[in-house]
């Protein structure tokens, strides 16, 4: 059985891909190309997404038009950076790292980086 | 015989001296799982020692109420200076040790539950925003720096940025996935939660501070070693170097961050496995440590 979360993902995926306001009817029709789904189910889940703060909506005639609050990339960046405080001084940390390596360790790192570089060249 | 002085001495040694001994030497990085076990054993041993000390100091028969008041004062607890009555002392004898035990248990539950709530919220958002890759068995997020982390627990996820998928070679990617998988399979988040709990109860204790930091680093090394079983040192080291520029969410175990510096040096440096004799003796210490305070408190010959 499909979970509610799967349908949520399907709806969000379409709205992000289309990149324009869309009605529940459009989403239902698009999902119906691959599998049958009831209009009321999609409407309910879209409403859940709206209430959770993932979607904005505005009335056009008698139908609601839905848009994602933020782009997929913005959400992804927020997720990735969630709790960023931990290594704020990232470039400094890297410099510090290389400075603190012994000569043998630096040579080993250079060698490792070179061997991966060669692999990449051989592949392309 | 009154075991209180011996217990106080033992507990203090575990709490203040042992961490400094543990930070010395190089065997810890050669046998990270064993070293992590020692840190946990020290924490358990300290907890038992503290509990028994509290019990001994509050025993009504021992006329040690003054000691207890002094000890509590040292811990920043003001118990007042009322005359001790036997009933209260008896209640204290059971109550103080029980309070220590309950504080540790509650703290662990608090940290484990809070971390799980954060992870659940994060995972729900991930499932909406990310794309599941069946080939990698990972969730891929659009993000322009190579990065990877895992959400451990009951419904685990490995998360990769699409830049990582693009820029890392298939071998590097496989090594990174193996590393994250090791965190999930090893239930490393529970050990971290335990150390977090211990630290929030004994915040002022050197053992608690070092055990928490070292456990995080050692568990990363354990995961590195797991990845090194099926991948070369070059592959893992370069993958880590690529990702050292990335950042990772709190409450998640990361393949990048501060500890990456020490880990890279370890992966690239000369490799030597821990000597079996060392392994054996440290393992014996791990088993014996939690029992020591019990032996001190109730010497078998005097029972």
Q: Are B252 and B151 in contact (CB under 8 A)?
A: yes
Residue of B nearest to A85 (CA): B250
Q: pLDDT for B93-130, tens place per residue?
A: 888 889 999 999 999 999 999 988 988 988 999 999 99
State the helix-helix crossing angle for B65-74 and B32-58, rounded to 10 degrees: 140
Print the domain residue range for A112.
89-124
Interface contact B250-A83, CB threshold 8 A: yes
Q: A51: which DSSP letter?
A: H
Q: What is the mean pLDDT of residues B150-170?
A: 90
Torsion of the alpha carbons at B199, B202, B207 and B211, rounded to the nearest 10:
-10
A68, A97, A114 — which closes off a domain? A68
Q: Give the B-side interface with A, CB within 8 Å.
A: 122, 124-130, 141-143, 147, 159, 161, 169, 171-172, 233-235, 237-238, 241, 244-252, 256-258, 260-261, 264-265, 268-269
A81 inside domain: no
Mean of all residue pLDDT scores within chain B? 83
Q: pLDDT by residue for chain A (124 residues), tens digit each?
A: 456 678 999 999 999 999 999 999 999 999 999 999 999 999 999 999 999 999 999 998 888 999 999 999 999 988 887 733 333 333 334 444 444 555 666 666 666 666 655 555 555 5
Q: Are A21 and A58 in contact (CB under 8 A)?
A: yes
Asked if residue B67 has pLDDT above 70, the reply is: no
CATH number for A22 = 1.10.10.10
Residue of B nearest to A8 (CA): B128
Q: pLDDT for B209-250, tens place per residue?
A: 999 989 988 998 999 999 999 999 889 988 887 776 444 444
Give the model's confidence band at B290: pLDDT under 50 very low, under 70 low, under 90 confident, else very high: confident
Number of domains in chain A: 2
A115 inside domain: yes
Instruction: Give the residues across from A66 on adjacent strands.
Output: A22, A57
Locate B263 and state its tokens.
Answer: 């880990």
Q: Do A49 and A8 lie in a common domain?
A: yes
A73 inside domain: no
A16 inside domain: yes
Q: A82: which DSSP letter?
A: T
- Please give the C-alpha separations between residue B245 and each of A98, B62, B164, B242, in angstroms, as whole numbers: 13, 60, 11, 7
Q: Which of B129, B217, B265 to probe the A interface (max A CBs under 10 A)?
A: B129
Q: pLDDT for B252-284, tens place per residue?
A: 444 444 567 778 878 877 777 778 888 888 888
pTM, two decimals, is 0.79
């Amino acid at each position: 059985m499909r979970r509610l979360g799967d349908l949520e993902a399907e709806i969000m995926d379409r709205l992000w891909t289309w990149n324009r306001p869309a009605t529940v009817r459009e989403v239902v029709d698009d999902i119906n190309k691959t599998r049958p789904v009831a209009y009321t189910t999609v409407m309910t889940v879209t409403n859940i997404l709206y209430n959770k703060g993932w979607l904005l909506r505005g009335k056009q005639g008698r139908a609601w038009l839905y848009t994602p609050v933020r782009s997929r990339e913005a959400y992804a960046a927020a997720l990735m950076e969630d709790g960023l405080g931990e290594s704020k001084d990232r470039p400094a940390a890297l410099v510090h790292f290389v400075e603190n390596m012994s000569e043998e360790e630096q040579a080993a790192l250079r060698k490792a980086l070179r061997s991966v570089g060669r692999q990449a060249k051989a592949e392309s | 015989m009154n075991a209180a002085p011996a217990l106080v001495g033992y507990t203090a040694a575990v709490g203040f001296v042992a961490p400094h001994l543990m930070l010395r030497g190089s065997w810890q990085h050669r046998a990270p799982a064993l070293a992590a076990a020692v840190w946990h054993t020290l924490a358990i041993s300290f907890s038992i020692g503290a509990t028994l000390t509290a019990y001994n100091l509050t025993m009504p028969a021992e006329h040690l109420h003054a000691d207890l008041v002094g000890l509590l004062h040292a811990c920043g607890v003001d118990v007042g200076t009322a005359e001790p009555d036997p009933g209260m002392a008896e209640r204290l004898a059971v109550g103080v040790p029980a309070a220590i035990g309950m504080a540790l248990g509650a703290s662990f539950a608090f940290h484990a539950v809070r971390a799980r709530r954060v992870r659940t919220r994060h995972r729900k958002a991930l499932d909406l925003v990310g794309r599941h890759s069946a080939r990698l068995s990972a969730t891929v997020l659009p993000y322009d720096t190579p990065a990877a982390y895992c959400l451990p627990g009951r419904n685990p996820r490995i998360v990769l940025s699409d830049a990582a998928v693009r820029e890392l070679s298939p071998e590097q990617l496989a090594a990174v996935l193996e590393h994250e998988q090791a965190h999930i399979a090893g239930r490393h988040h529970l050990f971290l939660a335990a150390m977090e709990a211990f630290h929030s109860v004994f915040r002022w204790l050197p053992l608690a501070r070092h055990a928490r930091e070292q456990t995080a680093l050692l568990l990363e090394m354990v995961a590195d070693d797991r990845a090194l079983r099926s991948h070369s040192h070059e592959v893992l080291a370069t993958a880590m170097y690529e990702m050292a520029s990335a950042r990772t969410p709190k409450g998640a175990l990361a393949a990048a961050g501060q500890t990456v510096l020490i880990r890279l040096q370890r992966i690239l440096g000369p490799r030597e496995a821990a000597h079996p004799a060392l392994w054996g003796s440290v393992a014996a210490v791990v088993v014996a440590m939690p029992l020591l305070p019990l032996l001190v408190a109730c010497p078998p010959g005097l029972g």
